[in-house]
A = this chain, B = another copy of it.
């Protein structure tokens, strides 16, 4: 396998157009580009040339460098790996955590018809009045943050009897094969390691879980 630093150097040449024609570079300019010394840049270019990944034509004040077919293949292989990482083909996120007890607030809110109806129309099921609270593992917290960037459904707040109920947002998810939803209250700053899950039925009973049992939630298409 070609070392990472050499690949980086090859990429720099390609970015300057080295795949489409000879590009004029100096070891100095490559060095500056990659934050290495001129001498190291010189060694990198020599190594790439030896491996047949570039060809060089030296001049008095620099060199014309061209990425060979083989060099381009190396870059393309790398490109494909990155494509795999970012391909949108069924991109799902996995959250892991442990069941915890909430303070029963969820149960109250989910019993309000004005909320209930909105969840029903957007998620496709009538939510059981109650939420399953999950404390995310340390490792899942960054994933939770990325999920924030996805498309959430806006649940509108309302006022009744002189009391105001705020907005919320939710996103479909799955626990095993059960279609569920993650609900996040709109205003309050929620702890970043807690999620609240709603479902068509009482999840604790259905899944046979209780506090501190570990559980996985899948978000995405």
- Residues of chain A at the chain B interface (Cβ within 8 Å): 1, 4-5, 7-8, 11, 14-15, 19-22, 35, 55-57, 64-69, 72, 75-76, 78-79, 81-86, 91-96, 137-143, 145-146, 220
When all copies of this chain in the complex are counted, the total is 2
Q: Which residues of B contact A138 (CB under 8 A)?
A: 55, 57
**Which of chain B's residues has its CB closest to A139's CB?**
B22
Cβ contact within 8 Å between A69 and B146: yes
Query: Given contacts A83-B79, A94-B20, are A139 and B69 in contact (CB under 8 A)?
Result: no
Query: Given contacts A22-B139, A66-B140, A68-B142, are A11 and B94 in contact (CB under 8 A)?
Result: no
Known contacts A20-B93, A56-B139, A79-B86; 9 additional CB pairs below 8 A are: A15-B84, A15-B85, A20-B91, A21-B93, A21-B96, A55-B142, A65-B139, A68-B145, A69-B146
